[in-house]
Structure 1
């Protein structure tokens, strides 16, 4: 279906978190908005994500009785993002992030709640907090979307139970204790019963959590206003009037069509995670081609902006936000990449080893730091293998990758070589191409300290962040346990990205800049199309979504303020 109009006030390209925020804000301020999405779904990578939003000194913290301040946030960022590049954008983020949260809650369907216990990734550094800077979306009833639920990108199937049931982070410990705790068993029973009722009317569960809930809330905000969304359409070019962006040329089916934008165009296409050419240009060779981002993130926004004279922000310590991922084939033949973020790496009884069979990193560090360790160890070597190694007790209690806890039948994972099994460490080493004596020595050295809950080599479990991701019920160290119960297992992991950090240079109003630092009139960017304000550093969970929502909000408000000024000027001239 083609757009209903030839002219809009605002055109947003991309329906991820940043783009939908910009659209929702502009529409709530009275502008006519068109959203153009290249796929058949809204949500982008956000719909697959944990939905965490990092915004220091946010109003929800105060409501929960947690203290924070911009001063403390500046102190923390100065210790985790030491580069001077983009300092002005970080200041804008800190100043306007809390404003964005308050505005969205007052004017849209977005509802966020503080995660009161979720430490910043470097809790030992000055200015860090133990929780509250991280916000998560409140669960959303998908039935409220009606038939439009079919347009919301489904979560990754590997993150659902029973073929379509979502669970939030607080449900997971209870599901692990089914049969061991009456409270946990009853909670699990209620979850499953509710899901069964939902499946009578819907092809999947309708209680939405995590990033799927955030995407749904933003989508509901668009549906509540006269925002048009054009699906399965490609933007071929930006339309220019002199040096001003005045609209877009779209291809929808076999037709090209020019659509004008009175106020401006917002680029929010999700970065370039799946563009091989741009990855080769900006990524280290050891990073390879594995990505956990939505496959539609192919650099469309960057290419459009460059043709209009935009400058790229390449001042990045890291060109992407990293996560270790394991690869597998689904039943339909599609390839999947499972991001190992919080479910297994920090749990007691698993270690990561390199191609030589030695540990190379503290496994309980943030997933971003974990992959930086992989890249350092690889020293530029392409396709260097890394493995997670555990025993039967760990696999049963915590799962590994997409293999969920308490999985009895693992044959299908073994058959596809996603998981490797052996009766002892020496044979496991032989199966994965590692010298048996080296891997055996690595396990023995780790086990020696693990018997007492220690990790002399890397200090695993030494910070509140690491312990938070471990198993609180495991004593004395929630992150450390021996690997002793046969059979033993290995799973190959790859350096992968969650999203790109290199993008367009923008100013504090989210306007795209030229090489000389002047803004391109009518062109804005947010999300991963915008260069990372953290320069590719990862100080906390939600470090992509926090700026995405904030600068989407900033773009929407600036567009609306520009429209209001134009209207006032026109009236004054009359």
Structure 2
């Protein structure tokens, strides 16, 4: 038996979604647990994200009278994810375990005082598929006063959204010129800002609210949280993982784990060498993950015999990067631009080739596939002046003056005619004019015959709720006309080590490595290479953390 500098019942590498959920299960069973975070902040990419969990058949759906069931959700995942030999992270057994354990995980957290709710309208990405939900299956944390963390507040990773507004209200704000609901959300936010200042509160939202609440619960439960404590090695004895080697204050320290080690240390989105190996042509400059997402824990698990899968896939996020955006921690998304009425996406030949709505992962995958046939990275968002005046573009508010650098540095192209715009972006004018004319004909018939944009509730949800008869279809006819480049980005990888329905890490022969568990994007996704709905990274991270901890307790 190795000698350790200290020993816990359970050791968790990484502090992203699911780490503190697992820790709470261990503490509820009276076990000691430490979370080891290699950066100087707690929360991982989860904290800086939207903080959405996709949990079918959740209690908030029941409370709101939204129909769902295990059978309905199973039919949906069977259709959207399916059974494939090259996606062992998404086996039928794992999908079923996810659907069964997800509501149990939420019940467990709610029972410990965690406060959640659902976004009332956020459709599944393939809502037309068998079992799809139009109201949606999203769960989010309520706003959280970070001051309740006391001194630990400084350790909570900031969120991309710094306003004290719920995610549901935040989704309304871009429509503030058109919607009384958005105006009320804006007023409510203003009152909350004033009230928070008067009462000494510091409200955080989205992923920071989720991880802030989880962090608070973990600290109250006696979980030890350490920052600047990267795991350098897994320690294995007789085929079982029994601890880790960490670096603390520049020195190695051996930490034992009586019941096991859970790896929840992110994927490899910021490791260009791994990207070149598994996702050639992709770039670390096109991701919005936290800085700790560098892949070394996947490599370390591989060193101990772990199988890997789905390494060529990521959770897509189409981006449009104005000058200076390479320095932004959260890259500006572009789905809201091309899914808006009066906008389309074309490749570098001027041809439209996808549904500009729909799943962002499918959107980015189609860009990458198209680029193998016709140059399509970047592609061009083509839109008329109503988009410029009515919708957000690259993080700027509707109708706002765009920075001069956008035009000066060739990011934003503007012209009085489609043909002149085509010349500006070096696309054949006749081809682009024909593409726009064909799309305009579809709009007139309210039927996108090529790609069926607007048939799904999710397509229409992405568009303008105040435009009828179709929220996402509008002709491109009002000049001046504009173009901006679009590239396929991501918010995390979908590949990692292969795990079973107990979250145990598996070898190539399918046998589990005793004492080693994985969750989050350290593991191959239970969603395969797809995104069935919003929150299919964070939801599984929490669920598999919950499952792993329960298995470790029961196995003991």
TM-score, scaled relative to structure 2: 0.91
| Change in CA separation of 1:78 and 1:309 when aligned onto 2, cut-off 3 Å | same
Aligned: 1:155 with 2:148: no
Moved more, 482-491 or 443-452: 443-452
Aligned: 1:31 with 2:24: no
State the partner residue of 1:556: 549
CA contact (8 A) 2:239 2:514 kept: yes
Query: What are the superposed Cα offsets for residues 190-209 of structure 1, whole Å, 9 maximum, x if unpaired?
Result: 3124325546898xx93322
Q: CA deviation at 1:52?
A: 1.9
1:66-465 matches, within 5 Å, as 66-84=66-84, 85=88, 86-107=91-112, 109-156=113-160, 159-160=161-162, 166=165, 168-174=167-173, 176-178=175-177, 184-196=182-194, 198=196, 206-285=202-281, 290-314=286-310, 319-330=313-324, 334-335=327-328, 338=331, 340=333, 343-379=336-372, 384-451=377-444, 453-465=446-458
Query: What are the superposed Cα offsets for residues 12-70 of structure 1, whole Å, 9 maximum, x if unpaired?
Result: 11111022222232223222111111111122111232222112222222222122221
CA contact (8 A) 1:528 1:548 kept: yes
Q: Which 5+ residue runs of structure 2 have no aligned equivalent?
A: none
CA contact (8 A) 2:47 2:158 kept: yes
Q: CA deviation at 1:182?
A: 5.8
Q: CA deviation at 1:329?
A: 4.9
Hey, what's the Cα distance between the residues in 2 that align with 1:340 and 1:292?
10
TM-score, scaled relative to structure 1: 0.88
State the partner residue of 2:501: 508
| Change in CA separation of 1:406 and 1:169 when aligned onto 2, cut-off 3 Å | farther
Hey, what's the Cα distance between the residues in 2 that align with 1:520 and 1:330?
45
CA contact (8 A) 1:139 1:207 kept: yes
Q: CA deviation at 1:479?
A: 0.3
Aligned pairs, how many?
Answer: 548
Q: CA RMSD in A?
A: 2.7
| Change in CA separation of 1:410 and 1:49 when aligned onto 2, cut-off 3 Å | same
SS in 2 for 1:323: strand
Aligned: 1:541 with 2:534: yes
CA contact (8 A) 1:510 1:554 kept: yes
| Change in CA separation of 1:510 and 1:448 when aligned onto 2, cut-off 3 Å | same
| Change in CA separation of 1:395 and 1:448 when aligned onto 2, cut-off 3 Å | same
Query: What are the superposed Cα offsets for residues 269-294 of structure 1, whole Å, 9 maximum, x if unpaired?
Result: 11111112221222254678622322
Moved more, 376-385 or 38-47: 376-385
Q: CA deviation at 1:132?
A: 4.3
CA contact (8 A) 2:22 2:548 kept: yes
CA contact (8 A) 1:136 1:210 kept: yes
State the partner residue of 1:16: 16
Query: What are the superposed Cα offsets for residues 422-443 of structure 1, whole Å, 9 maximum, x if unpaired?
Result: 3433333233222233222222
| Change in CA separation of 1:194 and 1:210 when aligned onto 2, cut-off 3 Å | same
SS in 1 for 2:515: strand
| Change in CA separation of 1:181 and 1:257 when aligned onto 2, cut-off 3 Å | closer
| Change in CA separation of 1:337 and 1:430 when aligned onto 2, cut-off 3 Å | farther
| Change in CA separation of 1:219 and 1:418 when aligned onto 2, cut-off 3 Å | farther
Hey, what's the Cα distance between the residues in 2 that align with 1:258 and 1:54?
37
Hey, what's the Cα distance between the residues in 1 that align with 2:198 and 2:414?
39
CA contact (8 A) 1:328 1:335 kept: no
Moved more, 352-361 or 140-149: 140-149
Hey, what's the Cα distance between the residues in 2 that align with 1:181 and 1:274?
39
Q: CA deviation at 1:406?
A: 3.4
State the partner residue of 1:566: none
Q: CA deviation at 1:447?
A: 2.5
Hey, what's the Cα distance between the residues in 1 that align with 2:534 and 2:184?
31
CA contact (8 A) 1:80 1:537 kept: yes
CA contact (8 A) 2:169 2:182 kept: no
Q: CA deviation at 1:341?
A: 6.5
Hey, what's the Cα distance between the residues in 1 that align with 2:459 and 2:216?
36
CA contact (8 A) 1:16 1:42 kept: yes
CA contact (8 A) 1:120 1:465 kept: yes
Q: CA deviation at 1:352?
A: 0.8
Hey, what's the Cα distance between the residues in 2 that align with 1:446 and 1:456?
9
| Change in CA separation of 1:199 and 1:482 when aligned onto 2, cut-off 3 Å | farther
Q: CA deviation at 1:96?
A: 1.2
CA contact (8 A) 1:288 1:495 kept: no
CA contact (8 A) 1:287 1:382 kept: no
